[in-house]
Structure 1
Amino acid sequence: MASPQGFETAAIHAGQAFDPTTGAIIPPIYQTSTFVQDGIGGLRGGYEYNRSGNPTRTALEQQLAAIEGAAHAISFSSGLAAEDALIRSALKPGDRVVLGNDAYGGTHRLIERVHGAWGVENVTVEMSDLSAVAKAVADSSAKVLWVETPSNPLMKISDIAELAEIGHAAGALVVVDNTFASPYLQQPLALGADVVVHSTTKYLGGHSDVLGGAIVLNDDELAKAVAFQQFAVGAVSSPMDAWLTTRGIKTLAVRMDRHSENAQAIAEHLVGHPAVEAVYYPGLSTHPGHELAARQMRSFGGMISVALRGGPKAARRFAESTELFSLAESLGGVESLIGYPTEMTHASVVGTPLEVPANLVRLSVGIESLSDLLADLDRALPRR
């Protein structure tokens, strides 16, 4: 459960005991596919085959559980692999999921097009409208209420505590995608959620060099079910990917502080720019979710979305004109990225209730020098 240590201490030390053989301060990477047994069934430390378990992955899972204040964490090969295992564990054909109308396109695609073919139904709703959520959950007899806050890419803020009460009153499992905030900025389990999902590719890894995902929770039986799905299907994180993620988590706190500081300054700088129609960032006092975000988050994170007055052409031109902000999918790395969601991260939801405005550009603000980032954006934005 929750560590009595500070967040930064847990992030650095949980699951990270030094190597007892050599004294190496960093635990070794167990780059192996199988483990020798002391006789049939005589497993050393419970390890038999890399798909069922690996000490490097175990160390990462202990670290993840500690920083989310949870009993269990299960590390996967990608965020969507983690979501898939959770859906298979919690739902059966005919069950329904209530999902926000501004969520990651890959999550919607997984539920709607992959599990939808097997009879799982998806209901979309505006998550900031609590009465609409309560009605959608009740009317659909939903088994899962899936929350993403801040949302991707419009940066909507949802009230985790209130939504947890709504979901639990209807008997639904409350899942929070905590990827944008990270465990350092937001603790959904402490606010009443049942399950946290992560794309560890993003802020947890933090260096754009690893792909991964995680499910974090307290429920023993559901954790066993998710672990079984992982073992049976095989979507495990490799030893090297687990080790890279662990390395990234150790600096999560200091990185998130800098991401948030840079993003706050950039958002304030962009407000009122003649080429900018709207800035979506919860750190702005004008953001409709600002007060709620201030209550349930430590700070406001490194993600900003910007709507351009010149429409889709201006948005595309802006996204293709920056230099320090590299045009690429993904987010959460130390380097700044820029993307055009309509044709990149959210292309799969065009024509659905989750369709993204075509004049929107998404910024993943890195930890470079603020003055350089501001100059890069100013050069790329139209003068009027």
Structure 2
Amino acid sequence: MAPKTGEMLHLRGNALSKGEPVALPLTQSSMYHLPGTPDGQASYGRVDNPTWVHLEHVLSHLEDAPCLSFPSGMAAISAALFATVKAGSRLLIPSDGYYVTRLLADRFLSRLGVIVEERPTIAFAEGGFDGFDVVFAESPSNPGLDMIDLTEVADRVRAAGGITIADNTTMTPLGQRPLDLGIDVVVSSDTKAMGGHSDMLMGHVASRNGDIMERVGEWRKISGSIPGPHEAWLLHRGLETLDVRFDRMCSSAEVLAERLAAHPAVKQVRYPGLADDPSHKLAQEQTTRFGFLLSLTLNSEDQAEAFINNCPLLRPATSFGGVHSSAERRARWGDDVDPAFIRLSVGCEPVEELWQAIEASLNAL
């Protein structure tokens, strides 16, 4: 079921007493007045913060599941993995997903005795899931935008006795709902579209499995992987405009994908909303929108750099999901893609103005 975003906007307001502020207060404190025994009261800044509580109330509404916030998307991924694997566990991750997840698995989890295996997204279900304790999925993959059937994966992993984790950063809960599809745990980098303004780092973990969430909470408290209250406040404010931003971004991406696919300077476009895209049929069944990310491949690395750097309405920057459209050549980070492959994150600019700038930059190549 899609979240009721109108209700979300009034979650705080409908619980206010007369004279309380409508805007969420920022609690910037490491200490709390705590005479006597704690008795379940806020005790210390590494454990409790009222600003987190209100933020997580909104996140839980969006995910329709208990949520905990973290200081980055990777902090959320780390928490989900450290809460579910141990020495001897077998972990499956996508070979073409976010590269830092692979680095975490290779440089840290594997050295602690976790057996890590990788598969490309398009062949993720091949070979089955028997013997895997945790299966980490990413759909659409970042940056390739390949998709997998999350319901099928969740069902097969559960039947084999494993746990599934899905990174839903590229779609947000408004575009795709992995928990409703049977996935056990969702992680997200809220640095991206959830916050939406490129001014903070945040992430969250959501699950309807109480035991897993208890472990995730224990990891956060003991490891100290906690969000700053100001960042939590910024994310809470960003979530209030997520619905309108996400709608604009997805609608514009659909328009741009069609036009880019027809431009003679573009070799290939990947966007799940295109009828001939390999992910289109699955996206129609699994997502409520086709997303705001697309990719285009030009004829050379030099052309890709010139296109990005000479377009005044594209920020040449890593990350994605902000109100400003941005683009980058992903091969510069070592992704296994064509040197002229560009990940384009569509922002909130008026679509015709944005297209004119993009088209002019392509025409000048």
The TM-score normalised by the length of structure 1 is: 0.90
Q: Number of residue pairs matched?
A: 365
Counterpart in the other structure of 1:360:
341
- Identify if the C-alpha distance between structure 1 residues 105 and 16 changes in structure 2 by more than 3 Å, giving closer, same or farther: farther
CA RMSD of aligned residues (A): 1.8
Counterpart in the other structure of 1:23:
20
**Aligned-partner SS, 1:202:** coil
Counterpart in the other structure of 2:11:
14
Matches within 5 A, 1:63-142: 63-70=58-65, 72-129=66-123, 131-132=125-126, 135-138=127-130, 141-142=131-132
Alpha-carbon distance in structure 1 between the residues aligned to 2:311 and 2:110? 39
Which runs of no fewer than 5 residues in structure 1 stay unpaired? none
Amino acid at match of 2:279: G
Matches within 5 A, 1:189-204: 189-204=179-194
Alpha-carbon distance in structure 2 between the residues aligned to 1:18 and 1:299? 32
CA shift for structure 1 position 24: 1.2
Q: Percent of pairs identical after alignment?
A: 33
Matched, 1:151 2:126: no
Counterpart in the other structure of 1:285:
275
Matched, 1:210 2:200: yes
Alpha-carbon distance in structure 1 between the residues aligned to 2:219 and 2:182? 25
Amino acid at match of 1:41: P
CA shift for structure 1 position 321: 2.0
CA shift for structure 1 position 230: 0.4
**Which of 316, 322, 339 matches 1:333?**
322
Amino acid at match of 1:311: S
**Aligned-partner SS, 2:25:** coil
Matched, 1:187 2:141: no
- Identify if the C-alpha distance between structure 1 residues 235 and 10 changes in structure 2 by more than 3 Å, giving closer, same or farther: farther
Which runs of no fewer than 5 residues in structure 2 stay unpaired? none
Alpha-carbon distance in structure 1 between the residues aligned to 2:206 and 2:176? 13
Alpha-carbon distance in structure 2 between the residues aligned to 1:120 and 1:382? 50
Q: Which shifted more, 229-238 or 12-21?
A: 12-21
Counterpart contact for 2:3–2:62, Cα < 8 Å: no
Counterpart in the other structure of 1:319:
308
Alpha-carbon distance in structure 1 between the residues aligned to 2:121 and 2:270? 16
**Aligned-partner SS, 1:381:** helix
Counterpart contact for 1:17–1:25, Cα < 8 Å: no
Matched, 1:35 2:32: yes
Alpha-carbon distance in structure 1 between the residues aligned to 2:116 and 2:356? 43
- Identify if the C-alpha distance between structure 1 residues 6 and 89 changes in structure 2 by more than 3 Å, giving closer, same or farther: closer
Counterpart contact for 2:3–2:174, Cα < 8 Å: no
**Aligned-partner SS, 2:129:** helix
Amino acid at match of 1:237: P
Counterpart in the other structure of 2:55:
60
Counterpart in the other structure of 1:224:
214
- Identify if the C-alpha distance between structure 1 residues 17 and 52 changes in structure 2 by more than 3 Å, giving closer, same or farther: farther
Alpha-carbon distance in structure 2 between the residues aligned to 1:15 and 1:233? 30
Amino acid at match of 1:66: H
Alpha-carbon distance in structure 1 between the residues aligned to 2:331 and 2:129? 28
Amino acid at match of 1:254: V
**Aligned-partner SS, 1:363:** strand
Q: Which runs of 4+ in 1 moved over 6 A?
A: none
Alpha-carbon distance in structure 1 between the residues aligned to 2:344 and 2:115? 32
Counterpart in the other structure of 1:376:
357
Alpha-carbon distance in structure 2 between the residues aligned to 1:130 and 1:120? 19
Amino acid at match of 2:153: L
Counterpart contact for 1:18–1:25, Cα < 8 Å: no
**Aligned-partner SS, 1:90:** coil
Counterpart contact for 1:98–1:136, Cα < 8 Å: no
CA shift for structure 1 position 21: 6.9
Alpha-carbon distance in structure 2 between the residues aligned to 1:131 and 1:19? 48
- Identify if the C-alpha distance between structure 1 residues 149 and 242 changes in structure 2 by more than 3 Å, giving closer, same or farther: same
Alpha-carbon distance in structure 2 between the residues aligned to 1:196 and 1:18? 28
Alpha-carbon distance in structure 1 between the residues aligned to 2:39 and 2:115? 44
Alpha-carbon distance in structure 2 between the residues aligned to 1:125 and 1:78? 25
- Identify if the C-alpha distance between structure 1 residues 81 and 182 changes in structure 2 by more than 3 Å, giving closer, same or farther: same
Matched, 1:255 2:245: yes
- Identify if the C-alpha distance between structure 1 residues 370 and 255 changes in structure 2 by more than 3 Å, giving closer, same or farther: same
Matched, 1:296 2:277: no
Amino acid at match of 1:107: T
Amino acid at match of 1:36: H
Counterpart contact for 1:16–1:27, Cα < 8 Å: no
Counterpart in the other structure of 2:232:
242
Alpha-carbon distance in structure 2 between the residues aligned to 1:322 and 1:94? 50
CA shift for structure 1 position 270: 0.4
**Aligned-partner SS, 1:276:** coil
Alpha-carbon distance in structure 1 between the residues aligned to 2:125 and 2:178? 21
Matched, 1:161 2:151: yes
Alpha-carbon distance in structure 2 between the residues aligned to 1:163 and 1:42? 43
Alpha-carbon distance in structure 2 between the residues aligned to 1:136 and 1:358? 32
